[in-house]
Amino acid sequence: MTEALSYLFSSWIDPELLALTALGTLLGVYIGAIPGLSVTMAVSILISFTFSWDVNPALSLMVGIFMGGVYGGSRTAILLNIPGAPSAIATALDGYPLAKKGEAGEAIGLSTVMSVVGGFVGILVLAVAAPTVSEFALTFQPRDYMLLAVIGILLVGSLSGESLAKGVMAGAFGMLIGTVGLDPLTAEERFTFGVVELWNGISPIAVMIGLFGVSEALHQLQHIDKAAVKQKIDRIIPSMRDLKKYLPLSLQTSFIGVIIGALPGTGGDIAALMAYDHAKRVTRNPEVPFGEGAKEGLVAPESANNAAVGGAYIPMLTLGIPGDAVTAVILGALYIHGLNPGPMLIVEKPDMFWFTVGNLVLANIFVLIFGLTGIRVFTKIVECPKGVLIPLILLLSVVGAYAINNSVTDVWWMLGFGVLGYFMKCYGYQVGPVILGVILSRLMDENWRRAIISDQESIPRFLSGLVSSPLSLLLTLAVILILLGQTPAWRMLRRSLGKA
């Protein structure tokens, strides 16, 4: 036990490791805040700089960037309605309306604290129950991943605004966009029309930046003469009343984030969307409706996407299977440094396991420190005159779209989807379901086909598998209940029970 504690706090007492973790977290916060500059890209670049370092300093820097980057995406999501990363899409739904009301400082403060809570929950599960969670993640079969994607698609009801029909149409359009490119299993062209540039598909980040960022800039042109909202920044740190009120929801959605994060191939974006839907279902009487500045809609996704960081480390360290794109890169870094993540890591190299846990804790503390500083400067962005703010949004959008693949094609896609998003807003369509469809289409497509191939292309065999496995049965029932929950009859029943 004493030895484990010494490994746990080794990065706390070594000035070099402490400084590198702090630097990584600071860089991560600001890299995550810039659309298009992904944490995966930053960690990938770091490998080329750190491969000659000792393993502990290299991992300290990478852990800091990972932890800070996941949180950083919320900054521009709240202030400019441009999610810095897909995991911050749900944050923008209620964070930006809060900024438009002059409560950007309070929104950033609340999101920071709840992000840290989620981060600690993820790290705690990693430290205490990593092998158990990994064994659970391994029980997921292709049909279970497909059902998980179906559940995610059904969240379209939470993102549809007043019209479910418009939300379904937008979600279906997003799924269509997600299928463009080479077939992942057969490499055949799909919806490319012979255009080579479409072989790699349409970048989800370009779609996201266009639909959120450029469409918002075009929408703001209608109110160019409207004075900027003065932000109230007298209270940044959440009150004890808010902490007590939102902590139970934060803990619930944090555990959702850990489980989703531990499933290989998922990640914080899916965790955040599922957490947002969970918040809508369990919050009976929000002070403000969801989508108009509900703090619950801010707490849930921010808790979940940061908890997913600890979740993503679980299969990486215990099974050698990355939980998301960033841990895939970090896994490569571990191999470069001569380590072999897998079932024997905790036995053969307990120092590395506990060093990682301690480093994640330290990075999470730095997220709190850096997250609650500089808010006054950041909120000045929202107070800029429209003539300055709109070009700034467009500039960030262009830079972000180009930075994805250093491709002008992505910039054109971003601008095209920006115009599309503007008209969608004009006619009452929400852009959130489109992004949801793009993100989940590949997960659903690949795993449906793997599932049906593993069942020898037999539909009856596939359907029997949905009820023969306890996990598949549970997920199938969840799909059915969510479908029923979006019918008028179910809503009438809930209202009658509430009155009773």
* pLDDT given at position 494: 64
> Distance between CA atoms of 93 and 371, rounded to whole angstroms?
20
Confidence band of 152 (pLDDT split at 50, 70, 90): confident
Query: How far from chain centre, in Å, is Cα 164?
Result: 23
* pLDDT given at position 116: 93
Say whether 190 sits in a helix, a strand or coil: strand
Segment among 60-64, 137-141, 257-261, 470-474 with least mean pLDDT: 137-141
Segment among 37-41, 157-161, 213-217, 300-304 with least mean pLDDT: 157-161
The model's pLDDT over 154-169, given as tens digits with 9 standing for 90+, comes to 776 666 666 677 777 8
Exposed, middle or buried by CB within 10 Å (0-12, 13-18, 19+), for 47? middle
* pLDDT given at position 159: 65
* pLDDT given at position 365: 93
* pLDDT given at position 486: 66
**Cβ partners under 8 Å of residue 255, min gap 6:** 121, 125, 307
* pLDDT given at position 170: 83
Residues 241-272 as b or e (16 or more Cβ within 10 Å = b): ebeeebeebbebbbbbbbbbbbbbbbbbbbbb
5, pLDDT greater than 90: no
Segment among 28-42, 196-210, 415-429, 485-499 with least mean pLDDT: 485-499
Residue 64 corresponds to which amino acid?
G
Residue 354 corresponds to which amino acid?
W
87, pLDDT greater than 90: no
Only one residue has tokens 């902490």, namely 243
C-beta neighbour count of 295 within 10 angstroms = 26
Q: Give the whole-number percent of the chain exceeding pLDDT 90.
A: 10
C-beta neighbour count of 156 within 10 angstroms = 27
Residues 56-93 as b or e (16 or more Cβ within 10 Å = b): bbbbbbbbbbbbbbbbbbbbbbbbbbbbbbbbbbbbbb
Q: Is 122:450 a contact under the CB 8 Å cutoff?
A: no
> Distance between CA atoms of 433 and 381, rounded to whole angstroms?
28
CA dist list (Å): 108 to 83, 198, 232, 366: 13, 38, 12, 15
Exposed, middle or buried by CB within 10 Å (0-12, 13-18, 19+), for 440? buried
36, pLDDT greater than 70: no
What mean pLDDT is predicted for residues 429-453?
A: 83
* pLDDT given at position 249: 92
CA proximity to 363, closest of 61, 141, 84, 125: 61
The model's pLDDT over 265-307, given as tens digits with 9 standing for 90+, comes to 677 788 888 888 888 888 878 888 888 888 888 899 999 989 9
What mean pLDDT is predicted for residues 201-224?
A: 81
Confidence band of 146 (pLDDT split at 50, 70, 90): confident
CA dist list (Å): 225 to 219, 220, 228: 13, 10, 9
**Cβ partners under 8 Å of residue 350, min gap 6:** 3, 4, 7
